[in-house]
Each structure stands twice: as structure tokens, then as C-alpha cells.
Amino acid sequence: MDYKYNDSVAVVTGGSSGIGLATVRVLLREGAKVALCARTEGRLMDVASVLKRDFGEDRVLARALSVLEPEAVHSFAAEVKATFGRCDLLVNNAGQGRVSTFADTTDEDWKAEYELKLFSQIHPLRAFLPMLKEAQGAVVAVNSLLALQPEPHMVCTASARAGVQNLLKSLSKEVAPDVRVNSILIGLVESGQWTRRFANREDQNQSRAEWYGNLANSKGIPLGRLGAPEEAAAAIAFLGSRAASYVTGAQLEVSGGLSRSI
């Protein structure tokens, strides 16, 4: 499929790892120029130098920042404008999940989780919407199936993620017809968060294949495995492209069939 990303500019938050990095790579391959951000400067710059080598120095812009710092996000937007002149696609991907039950989630945890989930959308949206409107562009948010299908061991993150879907739906109406706003709902994708949980597994003798296999079985994933970051990235690239020009306010599940709703 021709996604028509040639001559377009995309911004990917959390672009140094996992789903974000796979998205950066697919967008670059499809012809876009890409600006990416993440907090850890060393890892981000290592990733950026490989991307520049593979796709060209002038097609990649990387800045170390937290999406929770509005001034830094606004400076990043100004730099994207100065460097690339426009922004056609914003992929709001930065973040991570929180494992906690109601009993072990403190008030501070609730506030931190709501801040991360909502403001990781709000700050980049405020900064990039003017350029997106000018370009008749698109937003794709990376969210979790937990937004629709909560789990008691992730009570706080699931609740905040439901709020994000609600925000995105309203936004899709407010910024239409200039900007399309869509999201993907991830089940379990084999990336940074799961790599960290695998490293901290109870039984350190368990192999990677065994641990991931057990995880997929225990979750009852119909496709029998976790997703690859590239599989999430393909859905993001579709929703952000002109191939999805009549799709807005939608959510696409990328969960190997884990969803129970119709």
C-alpha cells in the first residue's frame, strides 16, 4: 500500500524504543522526515545516529525531553518547524503502564498516573496542533486495551487510559475537518516494558521463549503470542496516512484477538 508519506513530517514521542522506534523506522522507510523525543539522552542519541546513517542526516531530528514538561515540548515543536517547516503527523506514544491494585495505589500514584496518561497527550497536542491544522494532518495515540477492558491488577492505569480515549473522541470532533484523531489499543506487545519484566522474572532460570509463551497462554491471547513492535507500528502508519483519509475518532485494536468486546 502507498501510504503517501513522501514530503511529509512526522513527530513520534517515545521514539527511542519499542513501538515508538518501530514507528519511526516505518515512517522513515515510507519517505517521511521524522522528529523523535524521549527522556534518556544517551539512548536517544545512539538510536538517532543509527537512523541518520540508515535514512539520511537531514531526515531525522532527535531531542531529549519529557513530554510532561510543556516548555520543552513547545521548544521541540518550534525546532521541528524551523528544521522541517511543517508537521503532518503526531504519534503520541511516550509512556509506560503501572501495575497496581486499588489497595496498593497511593494518592500520589493516582496523580502521577493521571498526569502521565493525560498530559503525555495534552502537552504535545497543544504544541503541534497549529502545525497539524495547517498541514491538514493527523494524530495517532498509542493506548492500551485496558481502556475498554480493565484489569484489577492495573486499576489505576486502566482508569486513566479510559479517560484518554474519551479525550481523543471529543478532540476528533473539535479539530475536524482539519485534523484526524485516531488511536490504537495495544494488548501485549513485546517491547521495553515486557523486556524489563522478563529481566525481573521470579524464576531466573526460565528462558525467554518459555516466559513469553507462558505469558501469552496465561493471558489467553487467541493468536498465541505477544505482538511485535513492528505490528503496532504498521497500524499506526496506516491510521496516520492518507490511506485512512476518511477515518477519524476511531480506535483500532492491535491485541492478537485479546479483546472480548464486539
Q: Which residues bind ligand NDP (CB under 6 A)?
A: 13-14, 16-20, 37-40, 43, 66-68, 93-97, 142, 144, 186, 188-189, 191-194
- Asked whether the CA dihedral 145, 149, 153, 156 is positive or negative, the reply is positive
For ligand NDP, the closer CB: 195 or 245: 195
CB closer to ligand NDP, 28 vs 37: 37
Q: Minimal CA–CA distance to 139: which of 13, 32, 19? A: 13
Please choose, from the candidates 156, 166, 154, the residue with its C-alpha nearest in 3D space to the C-alpha of residue 121: 166
Cell of 107: 494518592
DSSP of 129-179, one letter per residue? HHHHHHHT-EEEEEEEGGGTS--TTBHHHHHHHHHHHHHHHHHHHHSTTT-
Q: How far is the CB of 195 from ligand NDP (least distance, A)?
A: 7
Q: Is 180 helix (H, G, I), strand (E, B) or coil?
A: strand
Closer residue to ligand NDP (CB): 88 or 113: 113
Indicate the residue among 158 and 179 with the shorter CB distance to ligand NDP. Answer: 158
Residue 27: CB minimum distance to ligand NDP, A? 15
Sign of CA dihedral 93, 98, 101, 104: negative
Which uninterrupted H or E stretch holds 127? Answer: helix 107-135
* Least spacing, CB of residue 30 vs ligand NDP, in Å: 19
Least gap, CB of 156 to ligand NDP (angstroms):
13
CB of 90 to ligand NDP, least distance (A): 13
Comparing CB distances to ligand NDP, the nearer of 9 and 22 is 22
